[in-house]
Homo-oligomer: A and B are copies of this chain.
Amino acid sequence: MPRVGHPLDRLFYPESVAIIGASRSPSKFGHIQVANLLNTGFGGRIYPVNPRADEILGLRCYPSVLDVPGRVDVAVVSIPAPKVPGAVRECVEKGVGFVVVISSGFKEMGAEGAELERKMVEAVKGTDTRIVGPNTTGILNAENGFTTTFVPIWGPMRPGPVSFIVQTGLFAGSFLMHVLTAEKFGLCKVAGLGNKCDLHEAEVLDYLAQDEATKVIAMYIEGVSDGRKFVEAAREAAREKPVIVLKSGRTEAEQRAALSHTGTLAGRDEIFDAACRQCGLIRVRDFEEMLDLVKAFAMQPVPRGPRTGVASYTGAGCVIASDECALMGLELAELSEESKARLAKALPPWARPTHPIDLEPLHETVGPDGYGLALDVLADDPGVDCVMANIMGLPEEMKGTPFYAEPEDFVRYFSRARERAPEKPIVVCISGDRAGVEASAEALEEVGFPVYPSIRRAIRALSALYRYSLVREKLASR
């Protein structure tokens, strides 16, 4: 099933997978991996490998990968580290395309582990077999349900436009759980690279840049294996789609921790920072910022300019939003005379049509439709490039008050604005009553509007969209 015409197609779209270390014990990684492939609806052949079992989860089990009847595209290895080099040698003999080594106990554990890792790399040298990992959760593709992860997955995954490259093993696990249960943007492909003894980030970046299903790339790395190749791949990728990078190992203390974690020596941070700017990568500070930006890019277009329209249910929200726009390189839009006239018509006599639009006086006259009117005005005004709406999540007990809008009402107001101006990104901040906030946030993200718990984070996401539009322009002109 070659998709991109790239060697990594076989890794992400395998037709047959061997699970070396498959287990009958439900808590073992080698059991969860088989169960996951059955749960996610993976359509390829699954070969459990375990010399001490005949059958696992209804699938015939083989003593060795060499006993598997047909071709094996990917072998997943979850056995104790000392046995891994032998298993890799068998995979080479079998002609396996990719061996995903989940096991830990290699370079990250000192000299003895490093020696095991060296032996493993030695085994594939000069062959067509590649190694992913070791010390990783490995690969996931939400499109075809293929995954090597040992994080339990109980059903098909929500497919979407976002691909991740991560260096770490278990962190990808909890991170993956979060994405699968709490995020609405949908997953495309995940590559956990672990110790990167063979396959490293530049190759995956190259692949994801070409992969049409991937619209946004997010990376977590502790260090770069080959700086030159990384820079080349990164620049090409950033020309095609936004690449968001979280790199830790910024301080000396952290560099020591990284060495004991994935055995990578983290490079000097300033050099990496300069490389990011040069390549057009979007660098973020933590996973929270990464996900904030990921969902903005996944759900919204990049704006044509920096002129930001703001509607807020409070005066303080207007003040804070103005401030954050200025601090983050956006400009507060100037409303046209026509827009002002539209607002003035709806406002109570004592209120003036200002920008940011304070929603409260509008609610007094037109009730919850004040949200819709403000969004329409910002969508229609040619002087507005992007929109941030700061709205209120209210408890059901407040139904009937002029401020109360149902989640469906918000969906209608925001969707109408998007129809009027599909080229303008719209981001949302909601605060207030916990249940009200959750219901409306969920409904809005479900239909593609990224929601943030603070104005600063909403504006930061808009600002990232805008800055990437400038980067892409610059890269295209080279």
CB distance from A159 to the nearest CB of B (A): 19
Min CB–CB distance A283 → chain B (angstroms) = 14
Closest to A455 in B: B286
Interface range on chain A: under 10, 10 to 19, 20 to 34, or 35 or more?
35 or more
Complex Cα gap A434–B286 (Å): 19
Chain B minimum-CB-distance residue to A288? B454
CB closest chain-B residue, reference A348: B105
Q: Are the C-beta atoms of A453 and B288 separated by less than 8 Å?
A: yes
Q: CB-CB contacts of A144-163 with B at 8 A, as 1s and 0s?
A: 00000000101000000000
Please tell me which one of the listed residues B171, B178, B323 contacts residue A316 in the complex, with CB atoms under 8 A apart.
B171
Chain B residues closer than 8 Å to A433, beta-carbon distance: 177-178, 181
CB contacts under 8 Å to B, within A256-295, are: 256-258, 260-262, 285-288
- Closest B residue to A453 using CB positions: B288
Whether A456 contacts B286 by the Cβ 8 Å rule is yes
The answer, yes or no, to whether A170 is at the interface (CB within 8 Å) is yes
Q: Write out, one digit per residue, whether chain A residues 326-366 have a CB within 8 A of any chain B CB (1) or not (0).
A: 11000010000000000000000011101010101000000
Stretch touching chain B among A53-61, A67-75, A392-400, A410-418: A392-400
User: A171-B314, A181-B395, A431-B175 are contacts. A285–B319 as well, Cβ < 8 Å?
Assistant: no
- A104-133 near B? 1/0 per residue, CB < 8 Å: 010011100100000000000000000000
Distance, CA A284 to CA B27, complexed state (A): 45
**A254 interfacial by beta-carbon distance below 8 Å:** yes
Q: Give the distance to chain B from A418, nearest Cβ to Cβ, in Å.
A: 25
On chain B, the residues within 8 Å of A105 by CB distance are: 350
- Selected contact of A320 from candidates B286, B327, B456, CB within 8 Å: B286
Most buried by B among A169, A171, A173, A285: A171
A253 x B454 contact (CB < 8 A): no
Report yes or no: B360 in contact with A170, Cβ–Cβ below 8 A: yes
A400 — which chain B residues lie within 8 A by C-beta?
27
Chain B nearest Cβ from A96, distance in angstroms? 26
- The 26 sampled A-B contact pairs (Cβ below 8 Å) are A109-B351, A152-B395, A154-B397, A167-B316, A170-B314, A171-B314, A173-B314, A177-B394, A177-B395, A177-B432, A178-B433, A181-B435, A220-B316, A222-B316, A248-B316, A249-B319, A249-B323, A250-B327, A251-B322, A252-B326, A253-B323, A254-B326, A257-B356, A261-B358, A287-B454, A288-B454
Which residues in A have some Cβ–Cβ distance to B below 8 Å? Answer: 27, 81, 105, 108-110, 113, 152, 154, 167-171, 173-175, 177-178, 181-182, 220, 222, 248-254, 256-258, 260-262, 285-288, 313-320, 322-323, 325-327, 332, 350-352, 354, 356, 358, 360, 392-395, 397-398, 400-402, 431-437, 453-457
